[in-house]
Amino acid sequence: MSDIDNAEINNQERETTPLFTREDVANIINEFERQKDEQREVSYRGKDLPERIREILDETPTSDLKDDIKRFKKRIPKYHHDEWTSTPQVNKEFTNDLKKWKVDAHQVVTATSRHAEEARVQARTATEIYELLESIQERCIFADEGTKQTFMDAMSQAERAAVCGFSHARDLDREAKELSAKALRLPASLRHLEQEEDARKPNLFD
């Protein structure tokens, strides 16, 4: 390659490479820091659910929501990998003895609340996947209609998984509340408890 060719290539590279002033670089850095701060804030405080998921949770009648979730669970494919994918049952010969055992109500309520939080973690994960798919939906160029439909199915599945998780968590909250009311012999409509609580979380009886 001649010196003239090298010079032309260098000129083309200089013409296509953007030149930034100090102010441009400072603005880019500031924008990067701002986005990092926003991400930290969202991670700490959380954010509103996507509108579509909120609508399903708030506007779908309870009976319809339960039916939808039942159909969703039936359509989920089954996977097999030893004890990771199967739930064991209690041995029948131990059932009667277990029924006689007196359980600490606080322990049961705490365990139920913990399961509710775990359900919400899974629901938040499904919501995050839904948001990621939603954010790239309009920017995607699909090879064909079949590929586009597969993408939309994945997005819909993430949406249903989020709804299922949040709904299950709410059911567990109610179960914990009912058990607490029975154990304390208090009305289920109890609205207030004179006790210092963690202000970051809602009380079981609000």
Q: What is the mean pLDDT of the chain?
A: 83
102-111: average pLDDT: 91
Tell me how far apart the alpha carbons of residues 80 and 145 are, in angstroms, rounded to a whole number: 31
16-43: average pLDDT: 73
Give residue 204's domain range: 51-80+102-206
The full length of the chain comes to 206
CB atoms within 10 A of CB 177: 19
Beta-ladder partners of 73:
none
52-80: average pLDDT: 95
Q: Total structural domains in the chain?
A: 1
**Model pLDDT, residue 156:** 96
14 found inside a domain: no
191 found inside a domain: yes
Contact indicator for 201, 95 with CB cutoff of 8 Å: no
**Model pLDDT, residue 17:** 56
| More confident position, 139 or 152 | 152
Q: What is the pLDDT of residues 172-201, one digit of tens each?
A: 999 999 988 888 887 655 545 544 455 556
Contact indicator for 126, 134 with CB cutoff of 8 Å: no
166 found inside a domain: yes
**Model pLDDT, residue 13:** 53
10 found inside a domain: no
Tell me how far apart the alpha carbons of residues 128 and 132 are, in angstroms, rounded to a whole number: 6
Q: What is the pLDDT of residues 68-78, one digit of tens each?
A: 999 999 999 99
180 found inside a domain: yes
55 found inside a domain: yes
Q: Does residue 6 surpass a pLDDT of 80?
A: no
Burial class (CB in 10 A: 0-12, 13-18, 19+), 167: buried
Find where tokens 């991400």 sit: 39
Phi, psi of 81 (to 5 degrees): -165, 75
Distance in angstroms between the alpha carbons of the first and the last residue of the chain: 79
The angle subtended at Cα 149 by Cα 145 and Cα 151, nearest 5°, is: 120
Q: Does residue 32 surpass a pLDDT of 90?
A: no
174 found inside a domain: yes
Find where tokens 């055992």 sit: 101
Contact indicator for 50, 131 with CB cutoff of 8 Å: yes
Q: Does residue 206 surpass a pLDDT of 80?
A: no
